[in-house]
Structure 1
Amino acid sequence: MNALLEVAGLEAGYGQSQVLFDLDLKVGAGETASLLGRNGMGKTTTVRAIMGLSPPFAGTVRFLGERIDGLPPDRVARMGLALVPEGRQIFPNLSVKENLVAFAANRCEAREPWTLDRVYAFFPRLAERAGNFGGRLSGGEQQMLAIGRALMTNPRLLILDEATEGLAPLVREEIWQCLAALRAAGQTTLVIDKYVERLIALCDRHTIIEKGRVVWNGTSAELDADHSVWHRYLGI
């Protein structure tokens, strides 16, 4: 596998509290991968360490073959990583259009870059609400806006933390369809979510962590074939 992102021996946490222990993770170019685990097991801490939001205690994070551990978040973002964070964190007092254009860039030098019109075509509801303030959108619309905002940077790697958390079933289905379309378009993506059945259909590979350590990794076929892994580590 030609790894776009390669995390090796990662140890990270907050202050004196260590959360991650010798964690390894790879995402290949063009892959859709998942990071799984129960609540509080270190998934968001892993994302924060990758994005430069929580500098690791030890280990390495490589992106496009270059070490990025220890770099500030803006440098990491400019290299082509984009995060759709847990809780969406859109700007509530900016309009939909302003939220999107504020992040416009072409960091991967795409031949068919994500533009405002392309994001509106991908999420027609955002086009309908282009002048609405972000804080006036529904939860599902805010998640669409958060994904659209990330896509406007034309990232090499898109990371979604709790991709469908708190969304109504019909809206959640829209997000899954969006992620499937991104996969078909060749977008490299790392998804954190709890809906294993949908992730098996969507993703190429999966990594499961428990108490900050990798306890399983493998393909969708392997995860689908061993439901004991679901029960043991995911409580399903």
Structure 2
Amino acid sequence: MKREPLLSARGLQAGYGASQILFGIDLDIEPGQIVTLMGRNGMGKSTTIKTLIGALGLRNGDIRFAGQSTAKLRADAIARMGMAIVPEGRQCFPNLTVREHLVAFADNRNGQSDAWTLDRICELFPRLAERAQNMGNQLSGGEQQMLAIGRALSTNPRLLILDEATEGLAPVIRDEIWRCLNLLKAAGQTILVVDKYVEKLIELADHHFILERGQVVWQGSSAELDGDRGLWARYLGV
């Protein structure tokens, strides 16, 4: 039976200045689902995410998160409702230590008893425990990515959003990130992922949305995406 979506977007239109980027995006994410946004560069994936988290205002449409419209809410209010992002480029604070990153934003926004504590995050990423007193700008790219994920988890979000979480990482670090995401899936975390590694996303995710020029041109299950490699060439450049 289909559950009530945790997040539901209808008719999203958004852009920058005179340029419109999104032309009526519809998507649903159910509790416990892992959903992807896919498409070539410049097709509206990051703009969709910015719109969902309130960093970019809607020109038209509506977003409902946990049963409430967020279309007119500020980004900080949406975050407090339980939406957390691992942003493209990591955006770790250079003047905060690893430990400070992981405690400064700590909260329990999903209200579950099995919360992501500092100790539990360090169990997930032992390297963060080893680097606890290092500043954000003293970490490698892979360590910063682990820190960005840990920082988002420290809020215990209802919805975790990852924008290009494996971009620019060495293969061994990418594997570590995929391992982490599979553990989060097993724990029932609801996740929205933007990434380019289609085969990994098919293994991980429940449902996929493909964007082309600011519109959803295809959506379906991992089995359906795996079975139609023509979609890969047509829309993903694979």
The amino acid of 1:201's aligned partner reads E
What TM-score do the two structures reach when normalised by structure 2? 0.98
The amino acid of 1:88's aligned partner reads R
Could you tell me which residue of structure 1 aligns to residue 68 of structure 2?
66
The 1-side partners of 2:91 and 2:63 are apart by 25
Could you tell me which residue of structure 2 aligns to residue 159 of structure 1?
161
Could you tell me which residue of structure 2 aligns to residue 196 of structure 1?
198
Give 5+ residue unaligned stretches, structure 2: none
SS for the counterpart of 1:86 is coil
1:81-230 alignment runs, 5 A limit: 81-230=83-232
SS for the counterpart of 1:112 is coil
List structure 1 segments (4+ residues) > 3 angstroms apart after TM superposition.
none
- Per-residue deviation, residues 136-194 of structure 1 (Å, max 9, x unmatched): 10001000000000000000000000010000000000000000000000000000000
Instruction: Identify which of 75, 78, 91 aligns with 2:77.
Output: 75
Could you tell me which residue of structure 2 aligns to residue 38 of structure 1?
40
Could you tell me which residue of structure 1 aligns to residue 29 of structure 2?
27
Give 5+ residue unaligned stretches, structure 1: none
The 1-side partners of 2:71 and 2:46 are apart by 16
RMSD: 0.6
Cα deviation for residue 70 of structure 1 reads 2.1
Could you tell me which residue of structure 2 aligns to residue 235 of structure 1?
237
Aligned length: 236
Could you tell me which residue of structure 2 aligns to residue 55 of structure 1?
57
Could you tell me which residue of structure 2 aligns to residue 16 of structure 1?
18
The 2-side partners of 1:110 and 1:39 are apart by 36
Could you tell me which residue of structure 2 aligns to residue 5 of structure 1?
7
Cα deviation for residue 206 of structure 1 reads 0.2
- Per-residue deviation, residues 27-47 of structure 1 (Å, max 9, x unmatched): 110001100011111100000
SS for the counterpart of 1:94 is coil
The 2-side partners of 1:88 and 1:73 are apart by 18
The 2-side partners of 1:110 and 1:14 are apart by 38
